[in-house]
Structure 1
């Protein structure tokens, strides 16, 4: 709670463009102190700041905002009443007639919630629940992607080898990595994943009764590359109607990613229309494949809440024309990795001071290296 009070105070100060006369608790600075003397003077060349958005993965979002409707609950979404247990409000229904589309919850609706469920970030002026930005790194490359890729590849193998055992599946996956995936990466001058394909890494080690999913050993960038390869691979596996839907599903997501990769921070009308068309096409194809697998009593194409969040990502793009790729947490994940390394071998009593000191040293080293590089330029 105190952390959000500090953030709210910083935000109020940035809106004024002037150095503050009090701390975040409203107490004046000690008389004669440097901060008391400088209070009211402009900083940062009189530039002002404003709240842009809250960035995190889903777990941190739920914890920081005390969200009562999330992937861990029956009601999975903070923006509507999509749920797990009611047939007419299923979060896995992506049609334009889906029941949850008529149950949108506005920020004003959210602010009526009980105090125990209220986000501490409500103190920060400019924050709205819509400003909890979606993250393509966790939602797509570590959420949707692993399920999509694993299910489509296993599905292709099952069509090629009707009575496929776990041993045959493992051998076929290893063969695909060696004879298809790696040559494709070399041909397209793309770094291939350091991890090979296998039944264990596709969640098919002991039984065919588990849903295929890429293991956590595959990093986000690796999953992104595998999505593009899988789209090319499934293009040549069009034997059945489901095979064509499967290829269209992968092609649509790969095309959505490509549109965003080639665009700037804000999309044009044509880019928004193209991206949303590919995104909606992907969701409908995946929903069809999941339904067909369920009807055939085959464990393929699991629909997790992140597919529903992707649907809201498309709605957000239509309304704001924002390229959500620029809201991803790639740099934040790198920073957390550095902070984790800094936090190692630190005594509990001096933990905070030690980490802050090490971080200041890191920033100083980076700044000095940047300055040296600029001086060396002709």
Structure 2
């Protein structure tokens, strides 16, 4: 096997290739390259220039009109002003693509290609190879920097519309050579090309552009402040998310790179960070996000984007056929959400480079499939589920108040759980009236407040549990450990509730497992006790009472049952921590 730039390639290509590749220096080695002007010139020489125009756009008769439309639509963006385009109708918007390809299990190559940004279709019909090199021959980051400088030289030549009169190093071509004879002549009539965008997966963008904000760091987004840290959690998909406060400009992003480690793509005319087009498959398929590849390594390599799309289409069609057999409302909602994800991909595949207002509106609605799924599974508000834009199903759910104590307060008949006799007997005494008055204002929260509570755990990322009960089955969505074993004891207490009272109604509850209310968030609290000079305190009632952390009740003491001392002679560690009233202590001891 040989590849572009290998020792065997020039000999074979000299006899078989219609377009002869050139040889350039990539940092520490020679490598083959297919100059785009040679490819465009060859297509231009086809009968009626048909190959050239069909490569630019399909149908080919609209090529000039679509080029002009593209540049008019992006003329308000900052990158456009750097290009200085003179004839938009004759300037091809060029898209660059980079990807790593595994040839064998242990053999990987990096491929750079380019295509017309207004041409949709299969890669074999739309993309043209620029160069490729073995991963084993690459020197990070110098090889990719060398490629970026080649592309900068290439784009300057393509935008001029004529063959170059100097090579990539600035040297004049050898006299009487083919390159010297054609220098300054048009390679495709009066047509030229200008930089439009860059496409790559997350790994490629990090390597090519030296992104300091990426999936492998706490700050995962190069466009905003989204982070794995709780203050700007990327898990918050609401409009009130903290990371929306600031969107990074190209200049601001470059300032984040250490001195001397700026991307070599800054030398490409027109490139800026906003022209790194994001992958929609990783935007909408959040569970396949690259930031989770260490937890789910099989998703990083085995399932490519095309395969994931096939899986999504198949699942959606299967669920559509089986929808009549679905027996529960929650499962129907799940099927509708899977269908909306399918519709999002379908709309993107079947529309042209520009969406109509109706298609854009429908696509935006379908793209919210995950946040809609989260809302559908919540038991706190009325949600509207839109599937394919025609079928709409409205779910009326009961209002439950979410407290940090895992307390869902509602009328007994709405909870789906028989009220214990001991609780019913206390009702006429008015013992619950104060509780209902205190937390009544949480019964009808607006969407912004609900979104704030929804993302509480993901923003905080410590001492917090998010639990969802669906069809009587509890699911732990998020669990961030609290102090020692406190979070485990909370789950144990919840399990005891499920065993004692049977299946609970569908609900979602957020549980704060800190020893006190320290969140600076408006939540229903029963009692907080603290010293006069201390703003923090202890929350009552404390449901971890039966399982204090190890530092308070060391196992060698709390689980030592050999002494048979009387109750009055024992040291009540858990009581001593929070009960200082000797009268109450005496009653408890008795």
TM bin (shorter chain): 0.5 to 0.7
CA distance in 1, matches of 2:372, 2:297: 18
Work out which structure has the larger RCO, using CA pairs closer than 8 Å and 6 or more positions apart in sequence: 1
Aligned to 2:239: 96
Aligned residue pairs, count: 236
SS at match of 1:265: coil
State the shift of 1:238 in Å: 6.1
Q: TM-score, normalised by structure 1?
A: 0.54
* Structure that is richer in strand per residue: 2
Specify which of 14, 23, 37 is matched with residue 167 of structure 2. Answer: 23
2:392 maps to 1:249: no
2:193 maps to 1:105: no
Residues 47, 235 of structure 1: CA spacing in aligned structure 2 closer, same or farther, 3 A cutoff?
A: farther
Specify which of 475, 481, 486 is matched with residue 298 of structure 1. Answer: 475
Aligned to 2:370: 283
8 Å CA contact retained: 2:282, 2:288: no
State the shift of 1:80 in Å: 0.6
8 Å CA contact retained: 1:84, 1:91: yes
Question: CA offsets, 1:67-122, max 9 Å, x none?
Answer: 11111111110001111122x31101111111111121111212333344422211
Matches within 5 A, 1:49-198: 49-86=193-230, 88-113=231-256, 114-137=258-281, 143-144=285-286
Residues 80, 16 of structure 1: CA spacing in aligned structure 2 closer, same or farther, 3 A cutoff?
A: same
8 Å CA contact retained: 1:66, 1:117: yes
CA RMSD of aligned residues (A): 3.5
Specify which of 4, 9, 12 is matched with residue 156 of structure 2. Answer: 12
State the shift of 1:243 in Å: 3.8
8 Å CA contact retained: 1:252, 1:278: yes
CA distance in 1, matches of 2:203, 2:319: 30
8 Å CA contact retained: 1:89, 1:99: yes
The structure having more radius of gyration, on CA atoms, is: 2
CA distance in 1, matches of 2:149, 2:298: 44
Q: Tell me whether 102-111 or 247-256 shows the greater mean CA deviation.
A: 247-256
State the shift of 1:262 in Å: 3.2
Residues 78, 31 of structure 1: CA spacing in aligned structure 2 closer, same or farther, 3 A cutoff?
A: same
8 Å CA contact retained: 2:163, 2:186: yes
Structure 2 gaps, min length 5: 1-144, 290-294, 379-453, 456-464, 469-473, 480-590
8 Å CA contact retained: 1:145, 1:223: no
